[in-house]
Amino acid sequence: MDFERIEIEFRRLALGAGARIMEVYRADDMGVETKEDDSPVTRADKAADAYIAAGLRAAFPEIALVTEEQAETHGQSLQDFIIVDPLDGTKEFVQRRGDFTVNIALVIKGRPIRGVVYAPAQKRLFYTRADGVSVEEIGPFDDDKIGERIVISVAESDNAALRVVASKSHRDAATDAYISAYEVAELRSAGSSLKFCLVATGEADFYPRLGRTMEWDTAAGDAVLRGAGGCMVDFATHAEFTYGKPKFENGYFIAYAPKVELIEP
């Protein structure tokens, strides 16, 4: 598999989608609608999805594609595929908070091995290089020219003073109860897949999620985290988190730096 081309195309498409998203973000009318699951969708979601899907199908026609906004891609049973969330954190986007991202990941044999997470409003770009190592590229970003990159790595966590990141829009009592079992020095909220990236860069030690997510919500962030030396496991069993599950639905999970001593639920 041509991982250099995957790196280049994933990065280019994420940046292009981000530009389209920001055009809508600055507009008076975002074209907000409600989907069947009561979640919001905007003109930005649709524009970014169309742009990314067209680019991926042209560049990698041999690889199956799953994308949030195209329901016809959701019924497949797959182990090898590209999975896309063109705008993760739509609620944050609609409220004009900056915690939203573009997510593209390559899953092989159920594991996310390459991915890109781009937060256009925050001007943060994370991805796995062709060699699988995760980096943060420092802007300003050029679609066709890679800029300065910093190799990122998870923290050497102190279990007596852990830094936890949790969902901004989906925190609940069960999550808070689980977090309270740890020695927590700092608890911060963030939206979208940025939570994975905060663990990947060492800005946080772990991220627990006790709520419904889909594989397109997590695959790219998971890939970036793994490329930075982090782990993603099932919440109940602590088994490695895998992809290609029925209907691409996730169970609860924990994303963390390996030095964190996980507590049994």
Element (H, E) at 257: none
Convert the pLDDT of each residue in 159-206 to its tens digit: 999 999 998 666 788 999 999 999 999 999 998 999 999 999 999 999
Across-strand partners of 128? Answer: 134
Residues 81 and 170 in one domain: no
Burial track 11-46 (b if 16+ CB lie within 10 A, e otherwise): bbbbbbbbebbeebbeeeebeeeeeeeeeebbbbbb
27 inside domain: yes
- With a cut of 80, say whether residue 38 has pLDDT above it: no
Instruction: Express each pLDDT in 95-104 by its tens digit.
Output: 998 999 999 9
| Amino acid, single-letter form, for residue 259 | K
Regarding whether 147 and 64 lie in a shared domain, the answer is yes
Neighbours of 2 (CB within 10 A): 11
125 plus 184 within the same structural domain: no
**Tens digits of per-residue pLDDT, 54-65?**
999 999 999 999
The CATH number covering residue 67 comes to 3.30.540.10
Range(s) of the domain holding residue 134: 3-151
3-state secondary structure of 36: coil
User: Could you tell me if 138 and 152 are in contact, meaning their C-beta atoms sit under 8 angstroms apart?
Assistant: no
Q: What is residue 170's predicted lDDT score, i.e. its pLDDT? A: 67
Percent of the chain at pLDDT > 90 equals: 82
- Backbone φ and ψ for 210, nearest 5 degrees, come out as -110, 70
